[in-house]
Amino acid sequence: MPGRLDGKVALITGATGGIGRATAELFAREGAGLVVTDIDRNAVEGLAASLEAEDADVLAARLDVASPENWSEAIESTRRRFGRLDILVNIAGVVDWPGIEETTKDAWDRVIAVNQTGTWLGMKAAMPLLRASGNASVINTSSVLGLVGSGAAAAYQASKGAVRLLTKTAAVEYATCGVRVNSVHPGVIATPMIQELLDEQGDEQPDIRRTPMRRAGSPAEIAPAMLFLAGDESSFVTGAEFVVDGGLTAH
Ligand SMILES: NC(=O)c1ccc[n+]([C@@H]2O[C@H](COP(=O)([O-])OP(=O)(O)OC[C@H]3O[C@@H](n4cnc5c(N)ncnc54)[C@H](O)[C@@H]3O)[C@@H](O)[C@H]2O)c1
Segments forming the whole domain that contains residue 182: 9-186+222-240
Residues 226-244 have a mean pLDDT of 99
Does residue 207 lie within any of the structural domains?
no
- Give the pLDDT confidence score for residue 1 in this predicted structure: 83
Residues 61-81 have a mean pLDDT of 98
CB atoms within 10 A of CB 207: 18
Q: What are phi and psi of 36, to 5 degrees?
A: -95, 130
CB 160 within 8 A of CB 167: no
Distance CA 58, CA 2 (A): 18
Distance CA 182, CA 77 (A): 25
Q: Which of 27, 71, 156, 242 is catalytic?
A: 156
Q: Please tell me the total count of domains within the chain.
A: 1
Which atom, in ligand 1's list, is nearest to the CA of 115?
41
203-218 per-position pLDDT tens digit: 899 999 999 999 999 9
- Give the pLDDT confidence score for residue 19 in this predicted structure: 99
- Chain-centroid distance of CA 182 in Å reads 11
Does residue 196 lie within any of the structural domains?
no
159-197 per-position pLDDT tens digit: 999 999 999 999 999 999 999 999 999 999 999 999 999
Distance CA 87, CA 97 (A): 31
Residues 45-71 have a mean pLDDT of 98
| Pocket-testing residue among 19, 47, 157, 210, ligand 1, by greatest number of atoms within 8 A of Cβ | 19
* Residue 221 CB less than 6 A away from ligand 1: no
Does residue 215 lie within any of the structural domains?
no
* Residue 196 CB less than 6 A away from ligand 1: no
CB 233 within 8 A of CB 30: no
- Give the pLDDT confidence score for residue 114 in this predicted structure: 99
Does residue 246 lie within any of the structural domains?
no
Residue 166: give its domain's CATH number: 3.40.50.720
- Give the pLDDT confidence score for residue 90 in this predicted structure: 99
The proportion of the chain whose per-residue pLDDT surpasses 70, expressed as a percent, equals 100
Does residue 116 lie within any of the structural domains?
yes
Distance CA 248, CA 34 (A): 32
- Give the pLDDT confidence score for residue 86 in this predicted structure: 99
Dist. CA 91 → ligand 1 center (Å):
6
Dist. CA 14 → ligand 1 center (Å):
6
- Give the pLDDT confidence score for residue 95 in this predicted structure: 98
Does residue 191 lie within any of the structural domains?
no
Does residue 198 lie within any of the structural domains?
no
Does residue 62 lie within any of the structural domains?
yes
The proportion of the chain whose per-residue pLDDT surpasses 90, expressed as a percent, equals 99
113-138 per-position pLDDT tens digit: 999 999 999 999 999 999 999 999 99
